[in-house]
Amino acid sequence: MGLDTVELVMEAEEAFGISIPDAEAATLSTVDDLHRYVVMASTAAGRPVTGQEAWTRLCDILEHSYAVRRSKITPSARMAADLGLD
């Protein structure tokens, strides 16, 4: 997992008030993987977010922090290969 992806995971942790263990983070390769984990972890932490809310906030993070165009952000987009995160 590259530095940008690590930073993205850290931003998601902060934005959603969750913790993503390194072992779990290493398995997150697509935007949908991260999205599903955020929804599950926020629910487990007692601060559930809807799937739509999580998706919108993750897209905002990718767009504003990493200059990824929204049109490139799809559930199957691989964070490293498709979005250019290293």
pTM, full prediction: 0.94
Q: Is pLDDT of 72 > 90?
A: yes
pLDDT at 59: 98
Average pLDDT over residues 18-23: 96
pLDDT digits (tens, 9 = 90+) for 27-57: 999 999 999 999 999 999 999 999 999 999 9
What is the CB-side half-sphere exposure of residue 43 using CA atoms within 13 A? 10
pLDDT-derived band at 1 (thresholds 50, 70, 90) equals confident
**Among 34, 2, 3, residue whose Cα is nearest residue 20:** 34
pLDDT-derived band at 86 (thresholds 50, 70, 90) equals confident
